Structure 1
């Protein structure tokens, strides 16, 4: 264990020096083990496992554009994102690992105890076993604190979910070299550092009950606020049944507005993202060498909550958000979720609501401002700027049909029920609750 956060930084630097990693961009048609289907243009692995990159036709009446086509990752299997927790001296500690992912800007970030797809933990790659996996598979030892199927990025995955888990153990669990027990306070300090605590750790911690600490830890506040929980669930259900989302998989080669150029899949205007190939060498992983396609965003995104106090309680403004790959039509997202560069040329009425106000907020209204990476296993150098901004006088308590105010405790309760809060809102909630 570490007594001070500075010791965590020293250990992290030592692990970066101890491991050799290399990621090289390459053409999609030169990826070892992968091929572009000659009939459809879809990207597939020779094993038929892991994931594919295909085309998707989307029809919906609840986005800036009502219909569009795009490439998307199709990965039907659910992986495990699990954090082991244990008390030392009466203080809960969380077992995190310094894990390399090829899409991370700095390659090594602090990840959950277990972060593995089903293909990985069933060893399709014929590599090493995943450490500590037995704590998260039945019959498991220990007490389950949180266990829920949660969505991944709906803009880039088709109906993708992972099992988010927190399991408390009383056993002696020695940490391997790349793993260390950290307190919630230490993790909170590390959340203030750009690109250090990875997306999977942040999404799992969003399901941590308030009894473990952090800001907004009063479980009794779930039914206190501007709206009672029953009203929020009714609002969510009404929004869900009132929306239309039609998804149809189409050949990647036929996706309108996109083309294969110079060994990658690109948007015709250079917006949104590209599909690129990478060759990877990595020490400390189940296999030491592999190749894969990745989605590479064209620009940095913004993920933001507006926040205000109502009757003495903090509230965040969430939106009912439909994504191309949404499994159940919509989920609750942050107030703002977009890459501003994709909307730069659009008229004000077609730009995401509240975006301009969030970007214009000065330091006196900005509660939180930190940049974090997104999932480095599938996305290459994907970053979002996470913001929490105090709402101005122009943001009403009744913000309209697609937005609603709720307390962070209420949002956390909805996370624990699963399938209602998107990954961007979950990540931002963790930063809001635990960043000190």
Structure 2
């Protein structure tokens, strides 16, 4: 099956108004009924109550006695211009699986999604991929129950692979972390599980517009799915923004409708990476400065960035019923914005070459405007005013979504898509570039081009037609 054929099948699912397997009302009943296998309770605890986790006597690093899962270490960042800072960072070298199983019902692809409870989620329960597991989890280092459906993504082939790509995660909080984003089409019968539900891409697109419902791991896999221009929407929409958005799906590679060719976009990013003078180095956690460790937290002295805390978790529907772990807890809500503009009738997205100390390649393509917190202000950010507009005619999407609840505590980001006009010039400042939606989808086929925030915003763009 060719990529264009796969993209057409996903587009058909994205246009299917209701699910054959689980219609909209049935989904709401299913969602409100989760879980049926016990409560989920998260309690903050002092570090001394962590079970099988401890601070290393020499380095001060916080890790698990098995040497698996992850460690909290120190990071030294030199910006190349004379500023050096340090911070804690999560080092999780294992490549995890973020997998969505798909299957046809009545000729339409459906995605098998999970009602998953995670300790860091503000609302605890969110809609997750079929499998969301670290290698330590799916190889059962925790000695718990097997991960449901992992056999479709690990080991002997159980279906047809439609998407398979390594992608980064938050480079400000993770050290060179990558997960395998994979979509597999089941070719036989799939066993039922009451905590899982089959949904079309259309249903998922609508759910993406709800605060804190579709989790980060589901969003990144959804963004990696190829998607053809939806023909029905293209023929029926009268909204100029939507029509420009749909034309943008076709503006790929070297299409004349694109302001920059794909080769020029890649060269722009490569040049930014080559010129980057930032250097990073892991250091002992005990060597970082500007941070204070207490009985129950490692906090930045400004109380503006994040803290490392500890939690006890009791879960009735997870592979392990009770455990303790560290969590990274941001002090404030983040912000990520795509500023868009129609150029010759084709929607373009203004993206930024975004440096983050923990990214595998130092720089990836990120949102027009991105802030980890209100403390992360860039006085020279030329698009902050546009990104923060309160003009309802310009706000195409505005939703608050959670970041990864297995490692981060109540980490939320406000994701916005803004429609700009001629007030945003076509000539871009250094570090910015206009790209089409089709070009973004071409880039996300490959590893380490788009940040996790850019991938979430790409998924949000797919929800706007």
| 8 Å contact kept, 1:15–1:98 | yes
**Structure 1 residues 50 and 435: alpha-carbon distance in aligned structure 2, compared to 1, 3 A threshold:** farther
Q: Given the alignment of the two structures, is residue 286 of structure 1 paired with residue 313 of structure 2, yes or no?
A: no
The equivalent residue for 1:7 is: 26
Q: CA deviation at 1:372?
A: 0.5
| 8 Å contact kept, 1:331–1:420 | yes
Q: Given the alignment of the two structures, is residue 221 of structure 1 paired with residue 240 of structure 2, yes or no?
A: no
CA distance in 2, matches of 1:368, 1:278: 34
Per-residue CA deviations over 1:215-263 (Å, capped at 9, x if unaligned) read 7497642123111111111111111111123111112122111110242
Q: Given the alignment of the two structures, is residue 82 of structure 1 paired with residue 91 of structure 2, yes or no?
A: no
- What pairs with 1:120-139 in structure 2 (closer than 5 Å)? 120-139=137-156
The equivalent residue for 2:242 is: none
CA distance in 2, matches of 1:71, 1:317: 31
- Give the aligned length: 430
Per-residue CA deviations over 1:39-72 (Å, capped at 9, x if unaligned) read 222101111110000110011249xx94321100
1:373 to 388, 391, 402: 402
CA distance in 2, matches of 1:423, 1:248: 22
The equivalent residue for 1:179 is: 196
| 8 Å contact kept, 1:192–1:435 | no
CA distance in 2, matches of 1:216, 1:287: 45
Task: Name structure 2 gaps, 5 residues minimum.
Answer: 1-19, 234-244
The equivalent residue for 2:108 is: 91
| 8 Å contact kept, 2:43–2:311 | yes
- What pairs with 1:225-244 in structure 2 (closer than 5 Å)? 225-244=258-277
Per-residue CA deviations over 1:276-322 (Å, capped at 9, x if unaligned) read 00000011111111100000010001110000111211111111011
| 8 Å contact kept, 2:259–2:435 | yes
The equivalent residue for 1:409 is: 438
Higher mean displacement: 332-341 or 368-377: 332-341
The equivalent residue for 1:306 is: 339
2:350 to 317, 320, 328: 317
| 8 Å contact kept, 2:76–2:87 | yes
| 8 Å contact kept, 2:158–2:187 | no
The equivalent residue for 1:38 is: 57
- What pairs with 1:93-242 in structure 2 (closer than 5 Å)? 93-211=110-228, 216=246, 220-223=250-253, 224=255, 225-242=258-275
1:384 to 390, 393, 413: 413
**CA RMSD across the alignment:** 1.9
The equivalent residue for 1:265 is: 298
SS where residue 282 of structure 2 aligns? strand
TM-score normalised by length of structure 2: 0.88
1:28 to 41, 47, 53: 47
| 8 Å contact kept, 1:303–1:334 | yes
CA distance in 1, matches of 2:420, 2:307: 34
The equivalent residue for 2:375 is: 342
CA distance in 1, matches of 2:118, 2:112: 18
